[in-house]
Structure 1
Amino acid sequence: MSRLTRRTFLTVSGGLLGGAAAGTTVTAAERTDRFVVDTSGLSREDVESGAFDVVHDLSAVDLAVVEGRAGDVKKVTRSFESDVELRLGLPEMVDAAPESATDEPGYEYQWDKQEQHIPEVHEISRGEGTRVAIVDSGVAAGHPDLERAVNRDLSRNFTGDGYGAGGPFGGDHGTHVAGIVAADDRNEAGVVGTAPDAEIVDCRVFSAEGGASFGDILAAIVHSAEVGCDVANLSLGAYPVSRKELGSFYGKSLNRTMTYANAAGTLLVVSAGNDGADLQHDGNLISLPNEGAQALAVSGTGPIGFGWDAGDAEAPAYAPAFYTNYGTNAIDLAAPGGNADEGAIGSDDVPWHLDLVYSTVAEPVYDEDEETVVDVEYGYGWKAGTSMAAPQVAGAAALVKSVDPNANANQVESKLARTAEVPDGYDKTYYGSGFVDPLAAVRR
């Protein structure tokens, strides 16, 4: 492998913080000026008569997201809750003239694609004819590895921060996720995506100021279904949420929305979270949205010692990552999300970051007042978390849909489940149906 610069190491070392992977699991804070309203039994006139602003009209699922005072909402209905706000590097490249996926300069770092035999998968399907929504912090549509994939016309900014869609305005997390799904494997640069011919729809729910409102996420799911996305990837979540308190209302609203999307043909692939928690035995707690109805919840796996000598700590690519959530009936599939030798994290002596997932990144450049984006810097970098595992499955789902265009969301999920296997010697609670196998899925 090519030698990495000091700058490269510093940019990737922030991918893991405090012994837990950054990215998927976040905390939730109630909003006092914004609410999710159950509009069942209310007429449009009832909703429009209220002394508040309708931010998202989700009449397809009998919900609305409104902004105003709680007292004014209460005059229209008592079936509402405060919206919740979720809070959640450039390596040296090898000069090459690639003619196939295995010749892309960054492929040598992509243990995840190597483990899934992605170049061989591409001989059968490249995800052509499919559409994948990335519900996240924004996708850099101008990135050299993504510019051919992102449908700017269908992309939406749900945050209201004024920066629009098709850019990494809420951070580079969404760009990294999108690259895992659909990075161009024929542009003689960068990395390989699982389904490089799939179309990407950027549904940005994280604002430039940080945070993603639960109501915006619901709106993004509805939009994904309405524009005909075959898959929606949600590498986000909140845990723990009490089932008895906010979890009751939000669980009902989320289930309604996710069921609507699934019925419309949109498979919802969701990261399971990075708390190292047993979701099956955590009392009256719930993890959202991965424990919502119709969610295909994905745990994370990864190697220890990819391209370096990890000694006794060495582990294969399908080993459960130290941070991943798990639990019987809580996990549907496992996929590569990156791993690490916890004792080596931050060390200058070993390239522990090679065990993370390598993909596209982008960073907005602001003017002197830090108010206007004047440019975007594109590159590649490492991250880890179930955030990176979910898009591996979303990409695999696009491949299956491409091979069988008439398959509905449940049939696509079923094929992924039937072709996955739990590795010998590992606990099923980390895998659900097993470790995702795109090659077996497109061959069946």
Structure 2
Amino acid sequence: MEVSQTMPGQPAGTAASQKTIDDAVYRKVTWRIIPFLMLCYIVAYLDRVNVGFAKLQMLADLQFSETVYGLGAGVFFLGYFLFEVPSNVMLHKIGARVWIARIMITWAIISGAFMFVTTPTQFYIMRFLLGIAEAGFFPGIILYLTYWYPSERRARMVCTFMAAIPVAGLIGGPLSGWIMETFAGWHGYAGWQWMFVLEAIPAALMGVAVLLYLDNSIRAAKWLTEDEKVILEQRIATEAQGKVSHPSIRAMFADPRIWVMALIYFCCVMGQYSLTFWLPSLIKAAGVTGVLNIGLFTAIPYSFAVASMILLGRSSDKYRERRWHMAIPLVVGAAAIVCSALAGAHNTGWAIFFLTIAAGGILAASPMFWSLPTAFLGGVSAAAGIAAINSVGNLAGFAAPYMIGSIKDLTQSTDIAIYLLAAILVIGAAIIMRVPAKLVNK
């Protein structure tokens, strides 16, 4: 029996009235799942990048070089790379609720254990294990959003969800600085050690919350009416008809479009993690002193990035255009980060201004990217393809901090690394414009 798509009290029979109904249903879905997923990602990202703040004290306490730090920060992504595709395929098979909860609780335990790291080898091992634990979380959420939102609504949802990255920086910077100053020496442990422990607790709590709150699918959502479920399922089913579902994972890996997407994302992630791992150090180099003050200043670029991500996502969906909405922020971010290096410590105000513009451009490009592959991948191909693209792209999370750390040790400056990073961002923008518009502008 076919269930009517109209809702009580709503006019029927016109495109306008159906859009009003759809908007109401998607608004209900958005308020139910997006804030919760954002909160999960905030605590995830905080545990992933708080090593950038720990660096301000940890290197001196443990006698680590910049190269040791860069390698340790980046080795996270080797574990992430190896387990990304298997993790996302498991999520597709057993459901998001149990798998995402498992991921969050596991990484909380490992992140808290960083309190006891004393040698470079231990640092490398723990970062590698953290990458294994978290593998599948981000691509799993991207996949989960494809279960709920068709492509014409997805860009702003992904951008809103990924606004958790700058929000994590907005919250995490001042919080990390405050913990490291306030708890320094408490019970004989350094401030950076307490930071790892205290910032791991929210991840464990959110892991339990996922088990109680998240639904695996539209059909499993008890908070939706039958009419609402039918509307959502039909929108997803209609979109699925135009998507690629490869006959096997091997066939998916043989699709050259997957590797083009991975290369684009690699360029984006180079910029993203260069900022998140090194922003505290760049702000310190600009002339700001004191870990709390550095933490407060990091809130400025991240605040701007939140706004730019949300506005770009809305604009992209409104005009159904993806490529320019991604390429222009990358170029702007590249130019701004070069200007921040040129401003240097002799002009703190201008350096912070350009870092703010750079964050707004670079961090906005990453969520915009996911409107590209999700426009043409469906089924198991979406699960494996999203994970493969994310895992290859996130190798930049290994390359970026290691590159910057090595260059800084060799030259005693980050300027050359920043110029190289800017070139990579421009290359990424050029590749984006080579992607056929008809493939991704959906």
TM over 0.5: no
TM-score range, shorter chain: under 0.3
Larger fraction in strand:
1
Structure of higher CA gyration radius: 2
TM-score by length of 1: 0.28
Q: Which has the higher contact order (CA 8 A, sep 6+)?
A: 2
Larger fraction in helix:
2
